[in-house]
A and B are shown apart, each in its own frame.
Chain A
Amino acid sequence: MADATTRFFESLDRRGYEPLLNKAAGTLRFDLHEGPQTTHWLLRVDRGNVEVSQEDREADTVIGTTPALFEELAAGRENGLAALLRGDMTVTGDARLVVQIERIFPGSPDAQGPRRLHQREVR
């Protein structure tokens, strides 16, 4: 079901290296809670190298949220830091890892980006 979520983690796992994480080291677990059920995604980050698994292991940082919100984050329709401030996402452990990981989430699919003067008519 959670399409963007699975795609997000699988693509990360396939890349194996994420330059935006080259200063990060540690383990980070996402706990996606829905009723009595919790889905886990575990990231092991070592200076840019990333391994993804679905183990329920202890981690330096644990992020808790709902599968629905995570799906929006993975699709670029929600912003992680705003969700944290709202309390829709919780963090236990090392907060620095969260800020680093947040940056690898995609931007909005509707984003236009810089509006260059000579392309305006085309857009």
Chain B
Amino acid sequence: MGQSNTIRILDGNTFVVSEETGDIEATPSEPTGLFSLDMRFLSRWVLTINGERLNALSYDDLQYYEARFFLVPGMATHYVDAKLSIIRERAVGGSFREQLTILNHDEKAVDLEVRMDAGADFADLFQVKDEILNKKGELYAEAESDRLRLGYRRGNFRRETVISSSRPARYDRNGFAYSVHLEPNEQWDAEIDVQTFAVGPGGRDLRLGVTVHGHERLALQHDLEEWIAKAPKVNSEHDKLAAIYRRSLIDLAALRFAPLSLGGQTLPAAGLPWFMTMFGRDSILTCLQVLPFAPELSKTTLRILASLQGSRFDDFRDEDPGRILHEMRYGETAAFEEQPHSPYYGSVDATPLFVVLLDEYERWSGDVALVKELERECRAALKWIDDYADLAGNGYIWYERRNTETGLENQCWKDSWDSISYADGSLPPFPRATCEVQGYAYDAKVRAARMAREFWDDPAFADRLEREAAALKERFNRDWWVADGEYYALALDPDGRQCDVLSSNIGHLLWSGIVDHDRAEKIARHMVGPRLFTGWGVRTLAEGEVRYNPIGYHNGTIWPFDNSFIAWGLRRYGFADEAATIASGILDAATYFDGRLPEAFGGYPREQTKFPVEYPTACSPQAWSTGAPLLLLRTMLGLEPHEGHLAVEPVLPVGMGRIEVLDIPGRWGRVDAFARGRLDLDKLAD
């Protein structure tokens, strides 16, 4: 998955990326290592026997937190002569543990020099990503009689890796070694423990008292079993759907992350390996996708984002009062303010989406207490939309970074530098306003009006919000409609000029409900039309646009998460067949990735490539790709909370067969949903 032949195991934001032998030899282009708190605690971890490197016969990533490697000495051509087997079994859970087992298959005794080279460069994740490796502090290594201590110190900032072993070893500054004598058929093993420390001046660890669950292997296994047992069951005639669902559930469990300030409660991190931290946008959208299956993630996400909501103006962090954070980091560059992620607030969609999630969560869960608990934060978010985001003073959400060195240029989900353009391919000046964010703002106001009326006892505020929403919808439909193409512009520039390219962003507008009814069919037709729809899914940018490129990050690839929200939007406006078409394409694509949808894949036509071409990215699993199949399931089944019960109105593609989703949790207790595939997609294409 993702990076070529790397094995990844993780627990929270501690994870190990290694080669298929289990070795770690980090180079700028091979970002392997043991990572924790956004820093690399091991950059070298190489096992040799009698000075010889080992070769992988096979490996297993048993669970997301453990892996096993079967190795033999020597090069590939020597396999037949192997008289030794070596098994490395490893797990992360708080610390990183590796069990080494060596078996002698020879008829005579052997003497072995078993050595592990160990080293740590303490690179910040941002330095690894951007290949900057000159450290400002001091690296140190101390070999003691029973442990090896690798450390990094810069002022009061200290990170340490401490390596110890269940068997006595000889430690030196570059690793440790054992002298092993093995009789015929004898076996030797040792348990190696690698602890990571974020040491404060008092010697206390930064993470003290923060645990999601026990870190022991059994506790991790128990936690995963409980997580799966708690979720609804999916049975299906479609041979892959149940497997895709299970893969998603397990990946979602792996991506749970406990921030330092929440006392061990979890929310979805954005993705492995670069994004094992909280992101406002990614965490919220993932929660929305998985609400029918794992509603408790929404509650913790809303709480943590509320507790870190912006409270002042800070130009370095692009922080404003009421703004919801974009990204939080714990590494050296955040600590020394070389990067603004402590936390960084440069996103314009997280704030309205925060309000949207709170309302949607209540509609499912009936958790009125949380809606009341977060009233102040919701009002602050709505105030941010009106007071601080409207940079052009015309009633839209705009963005322009104030941190011009390390802040983000594009503060919408398509955040690469060239994602927003005019039809002639040129890039607009700042501030910019993208269409889908206006939809989120509309939806936030409509939903906040419901909350104000029903739970905050403030009908006047509700009326005001509804008036504002109606005015926004009218204004938007006037200013953003591209008359000759019959779709909405991707963005506006500060002069009100349209970035008039055809993009996937307009699909989100259906989800938000800002599309005028008489225009919805035109948008739906674009979504499944030849310029945007490839047979697998909707491209980020339509074929025929100047910047279109089937493997352009935000200019032509297909993003499963994007598609899941588009399908939800189509369903909302009654285009159930079109929604099913998209769901079917994305779920078909998932089967080519063993049920684990990547961040993005190529926008080539389906008939041309026959299989979905993965975008060369290092990030997998990624939370909102993991959540996509779950939202598509919801969409196909037409699951919708309605006056205290769960409405089910399935429209499945023909090949899908029968689907049952059992024990869907919500304000109704637990209910089941059943569906049978009827829709003939070929007819739709005529």
A contact set with B: CB distance below 8 Å: 19-20, 22-23, 64, 76, 79, 81-82, 84-88, 90-92, 94-96, 98-100, 103-108, 110-118
B677 close to chain A: CB less than 8 A: no
Q: Is the CB of A95 within 8 A of B261?
A: yes
B319 within 8 A of A: yes
Are A87 and B158 in contact, CB atoms less than 8 angstroms apart?
A: yes
Known: A99-B261, A99-B308, A108-B314. A90 touches B204 (CB 8 A): yes
Residue from A20, A23, A85, A90 whose CB has the most chain B CB atoms within 10 Å? A85
B388 contacts across to A, CB distance below 8 A: 113-114
Contact A111-B391, Cβ < 8 Å, known A82-B335, A85-B330, A90-B202: no
Q: Is the CB of A117 within 8 A of B494?
A: yes
User: In the complex, A118→B393 CA distance in Å?
Assistant: 8
Distance between Cα atoms of A107 and B319 in the complex (Å): 9
For B263, the chain A residues whose CB sits under 8 A away are 94-96
Name the A residues within 8 Å of B308 (CB-CB): 99, 103
Q: Min CB distance, A92 to chain B, in Å? A: 7
Chain A nearest Cβ from B520, distance in angstroms: 32
Contact at B204–A112, with CB atoms within 8 Å? no
Which among B336-344, B507-515, B613-621 touches the partner chain? B336-344
A106 in complex: contacting residue of B309, B312, B317, B373, CB < 8 Å: B312
B209 on the interface (CB 8 Å rule)? Answer: yes
Please state if B201 and A82 are interface contacts (CB–CB under 8 Å): no
Q: Bound complex: CA of A42 vs CA of B406, how far in Å?
A: 37
Minimum CB–CB distance from B376 to chain A (whole Å) comes to 7
Is the Cβ of A85 less than 8 Å from the Cβ of B342?
Answer: yes
Chain B residues with CB under 8 Å of A87's CB are: 155-158, 199-201, 206, 335
Interface membership of B262, Cβ < 8 A:
yes
Are B393 and A117 within 8 A (Cβ)? yes
Cβ of B112 < 8 Å from any Cβ of A?
Answer: no
Given contacts A82-B334, A100-B307, A107-B312, contact A90 B261 (CB under 8 A): no
A86 touches B155 (CB 8 A): yes
Q: Which partner residue on chain A sits nearest B307 by CB separation?
A: A99
Question: Of A79, A91, A92, A115, which is within 8 A of B402 by CB?
Answer: A115
Instruction: Give residues 284-318 of B contacting A (CB, 8 Å).
Output: 307-309, 311-317
Q: Contact: A86 with B157, CB < 8 Å?
A: yes
Cβ–Cβ contact B315 & A108, under 8 A: yes
Residues of B close to A116: CB separation below 8 A? 391-393
A96 touching B199, Cβ below 8 Å: no
Residues B342 and A79 in contact, CB atoms below 8 Å apart: yes
Pair B200/A90 contact, Cβ less than 8 Å: yes
Among A23, A98, A110, residue most surrounded by chain B Cβ atoms (within 10 Å): A23
| Chain B residues, Cβ within 8 Å of A106 | 312
Which chain B residues lie closer than 8 Å to A107 at the CB level?
311-314, 319
Say how far B613's CB is from chain A's closest CB, in angstroms.
40
B143-159 contact mask (Cβ, 8 Å, vs A): 1 or 0? 00000000000011110
Instruction: Taking A79-B342, A114-B402, A116-B393 as given, write out 8 further A-B residue pairs in contact, using a Cβ cutoff of 8 Å, ordered by the A residue number.
Output: A22-B376, A23-B373, A81-B342, A87-B155, A103-B312, A107-B311, A117-B494, A118-B392
A117 smallest CB distance to B (angstroms):
5
A92 to B209, CA, bound (A): 10
The interface residues of chain B lying within 8 Å CB-to-CB of A95 are 209-210, 260-261, 263
- The chain A residue sitting closest to B314, CB to CB, is A107
Given contacts A79-B342, A88-B155, contact A111 B313 (CB under 8 A): yes
Chain A residues within an 8 Å CB radius of B312: 76, 103, 105-107, 111
CB distance from A53 to the nearest CB of B (A): 24
The CA of A76 and the CA of B337, in the complex, are separated in Å by 15
Q: Is B431 an interface residue (CB 8 A)?
A: yes
Residues of B within 8 A of A94 (CB): 263
The CA-CA distance from A22 to B373 in the complex, in Å, is 10
Specify which of A81, A92, A99, A117 is in contact with B391 (CB 8 Å cutoff). Answer: A117
Q: Is the CB of B313 within 8 A of A113?
A: yes
CB distance from A17 to the nearest CB of B (A): 13
Chain B neighbourhood of A111, CB < 8 A:
312-315
By a CB distance below 8 angstroms, the chain B residues around A110 are 315
Whole-angstrom distance between the alpha carbons of A86 and B155 in the complex?
8
* B315 partner residues in chain A, CB cutoff 8 A: 108, 110-113
Pull 19 A–B residue pairs with CB atoms less than 8 Å apart, ordered by A.
Answer: A19-B376, A22-B376, A23-B307, A64-B201, A79-B342, A81-B343, A82-B337, A85-B206, A86-B335, A87-B156, A87-B158, A90-B200, A95-B209, A105-B312, A111-B315, A112-B315, A112-B402, A114-B402, A118-B392
Contact of A103 among B201, B311, B494 (CB under 8 A): B311
What distance in Å separates the Cβ of A96 from its nearest Cβ neighbour in chain B? 5
Bits for B319-349, please: 1 = Cβ < 8 Å to A, else 0. 1100000000011001111000011000000
CB proximity to A under 8 Å, residues B58-97 = none
Determine whether the beta carbon of A108 is less than 8 Å from that of B376. no
- Complex Cα distance, B155 from A108, in Å, reads 24
Q: Which of chain B's residues have a CB closer than 8 A to the CB of A90? A: 200-202, 204
Q: Which residues of B contact A114 (CB under 8 A)?
A: 313, 320, 388-389, 391, 402
A85 x B391 contact (CB < 8 A) = no
B204:A86 contact, CB within 8 angstroms: no
Residues of B within 8 A of A22 (CB): 376
Asked whether any CB of chain A lies closer than 8 Å to the CB of B11, the reply is no
**How many angstroms from the CA of A112 to the CA of B201 in the assembled complex?**
35
Q: Is the CB of A113 within 8 A of B320?
A: yes
Say yes or no: is B545 at the interface (Cβ < 8 Å to chain A): no
CB distance from A50 to the nearest CB of B (A): 15
* Contact B262–A112 (Cβ < 8 Å): no
Give A24's nearest chain B residue, CB to CB. B307
- B362 interface residue (CB < 8 Å to A): no
| Chain A residues whose C-beta falls within 8 Å of the C-beta of B206 in the assembled complex | 84-85, 87
State whether the Cβ of B400 lies closer than 8 Å to any Cβ in chain A.
yes
Of B261, B311, B313, B392, which one neighbours A104 at CB under 8 angstroms? B311
Chain B residue numbers with a CB within 8 Å of A64 are 201-202
Question: For residue B309, which residue of chain A has the nearest CB?
Answer: A103
Instruction: Give, as a whole number of angstroms, the nearest-CB distance from B262 to chain A.
Output: 7
Q: A95-B210, A113-B388, A114-B391 are in contact. Are A108 and B313 (CB under 8 A)?
A: yes
B248-278 residues at the A interface, CB under 8 angstroms: 260-263
- CA of A84 to CA of B330, assembled, Å: 10
Please, how many angstroms separate the alpha-carbon atoms of A22 and B201 in the complex? Answer: 31
B139 to chain A, nearest CB (A): 17
Q: Are A85 and B334 in contact (CB under 8 A)?
A: yes
Q: How far is the CB of B408 from chain A (nearest CB, A)?
A: 15
Hey, which chain A residues are within 8 Å of B200, CB to CB?
87, 90-91
Q: How far is the CA of A116 from the CA of B335 in the complex (A)?
A: 30
Contact residues in B for A84 (Cβ distance below 8 Å): 206
Hey, which chain B residues are within 8 Å of A81, CB to CB? 342-343
Shortest distance from the beta carbon of B556 to any chain A beta carbon, whole Å: 31
How far apart are the CA atoms of A22 and B309 in the complex, in Å? 14
Closest 5 A/B residue pairs (Cβ):
A107-B312, A87-B156, A85-B335, A99-B261, A111-B313
- In whole angstroms, what is the CA distance A96 to B259 when docked? 10
Q: Complex Cα distance A100/B402, Å?
A: 25
Q: Which residues of B contact A79 (CB under 8 A)?
A: 314, 317, 337, 342
